[in-house]
Structure 1
């Protein structure tokens, strides 16, 4: 195919994208537990995201495909809104799973690769082995669900840590005021599981194994997307808008090959 034609079609597709994006404007839909039904209505986007899921080996790692599709939908929405500058990496934490399972998934979306899968603790007042209660309130000692952008790394009482900014109003947007950060903890390991039948618990922070905290922070710091999942009936987010995510995904290499 002639080079000039390829350039023309690329420019044309971008013009169409920005025209649709501009007209799309603030018409985002808020989705929660109905997300699983809605995503199947866009068969091409559904196929594309499931292909990434399979290529990254996330099924064998134990991540639920719907949880991944929620996370990557938010990932694309945040790219569309210009919030995410670390555009390769997506962190998924699935609090539908017990703490003794490795429920943190660090994924390179562009290269379709699972970078790391490990344990992560929840807040002490959210529950025992499996969290059931979540809060956005200072001093609640509970975890908060929803979409986050990672912030800056710093040295604190738990060693090198990373601040988090919650993006879902009413669910986690008080995270910075609550000092909800990602940090390492010596109670997040197999020994603790063997002794207690579960991980230790934090004061609401997603605490990870001490030996992995620096690696996770180095990869994810400064405006990468983190999604903390829990199947809570009243949870909804503007970042679960499938139409917006589909607009972004259609500009990615490999989209047409997956449908």
Structure 2
């Protein structure tokens, strides 16, 4: 893993009138690193993700991409850098098959007698190979997405992102609607994405999931960074205390 940050969030703040959603937030994301963004409801996690995704500008502070300051005027600017967001309500078209979703907006065509034709077989082969590369099993790539599980749908988005050269993926509560087995596969998928050299920011309320998959945990509380911990130097109880501001767990352990 490179020690030069892919993304630097530098003293970022966001205000909505008299309400401060974020106040002086700073941390780095390294290439190929998984960072878990932890915090209670209203802590400011979603606001920060929207700033990184280009859907909201910061009120102050700056973002640096590979050490260079960038201004994201909209989601297209973020996508141009290689930043993609996978929300709980996925952006896939449910009545379109896996191949159609994988290549949506990037369809491969050929011209015959002045007419454009889709290169269907080639797109099928590329889709199968991309899914296989990240260990995703979808028997029929011509199945409509509406007939697939939530985990399979997330896998399509992640495989598409990796195949088309993405560099940083933002996952917003990726396991919220998944069962135990689908969650396990989702955690494994994040690890496979990381091995491709791609950075991941995961918003999650589940501290155990964060400890399983993240290299570092960034805890936001009331709009500020309460703490940044590596997996090796923290524990479930400490992260809960940082999220809630309640030090009683540590006090009980010290007393014992």
Higher strand share: 2
Instruction: Tell me which interval the TM-score lies in, with the shorter structure as reference length.
Output: under 0.3
What TM-score, normalized to structure 2?
A: 0.24
What TM-score, normalized to structure 1?
A: 0.24
Which has the larger Rg? 2
